[in-house]
Amino acid sequence: GTTSDPLTYNTQGTFVINWTFDDGNGNSIVVPQNVIIDDVTNPVIPTLSDVTGECSATATAPTTTDNCSGTLTGTTSDP
């Protein structure tokens, strides 16, 4: 089979590769092949230490890892 479609995909979604098969005698067929990228694995759960202080305390944004995105930095909407 031959194709002019990309063979590598790295974004979430469904893509189609159209393969052409030609027997060299004027007969050919085109067969689609689905490529499905679906990240279903959660990021690694980090172990977070308590933030303590006597008069004040400041937390820093923790990080963790994800199989597709690499390093992730935590976000919060808490005050």
Instruction: Give the pLDDT confidence score for residue 21 in this predicted structure.
Output: 98
CA distance 73 to 61: 6
Indicate whether 79 pLDDT > 90.
no
Confidence of residue 76 (pLDDT cuts 50, 70, 90): very high
Hey, what's the torsion of the CAs at 46, 51, 57, 61, to 10 degrees? 0
Of all residues in the chain, what percent carry a pLDDT higher than 90?
97
Going from the C-alpha of 71 to that of each of 46, 47, 50, 60, the distances in angstroms are 11, 15, 21, 15
Give the start-to-end residue ranges of the domains of the chain. Answer: 1-38, 40-74
Indicate whether 61 pLDDT > 90.
yes
Of all residues in the chain, what percent carry a pLDDT higher than 70?
100
> Structure pTM?
0.71
Instruction: Give the pLDDT confidence score for residue 55 in this predicted structure.
Output: 97
